[in-house]
Amino acid sequence: MSKLGDMYALYQKELYGREVFEDEDGFIMYSKYDDNSIYLHAIFVKPEKRRKGAGTNLEKKIIDSLKPSVAFCYVDLTTNNPTLSLNSILSAGYTIFSASEVSIVLRKVCNE
């Protein structure tokens, strides 16, 4: 990660307790909870790696590493291309957990 990226990750950890998992293709910012669930706050994949499975690989790596019982994530409907994000998340096995006018929360049962 860049120096700025490292500082942003430190800011997220200090302010919200969020962790960052990264590989050469991108990163996931997440929180792990005592009930063995995780919440994926942000997923970023380098533009040249998109639509090539890099996001799915990142998500698989974090689930394999943390072994949560359930994973949650959300789509902010006010961002660019929320439909693209939603379709990617649904294709990874998530289902809609709740929705509002500005966001959709999704849930995936892991390690059954």
CATH code that applies to domain 3-109: 3.40.630.30
> For residue 4, what pLDDT is reported?
67
Residues in the chain: 112
Distance CA 100, CA 107 (A): 15
- Interval 26-85: pLDDT, tens: 999 999 999 999 999 999 999 999 888 898 999 999 999 999 999 999 999 999 989 989
The domain spans of the chain are 3-109
- Interval 70-84: pLDDT, tens: 999 999 999 998 998
Q: Return the sign of the alpha-carbon dihedral for residues 72, 93, 95, 78.
A: positive
> For residue 1, what pLDDT is reported?
61
List, in sequence order, every beta strand (DSSP E) within the chain: 19-23, 26-32, 37-45, 70-76, 95-99, 103-109
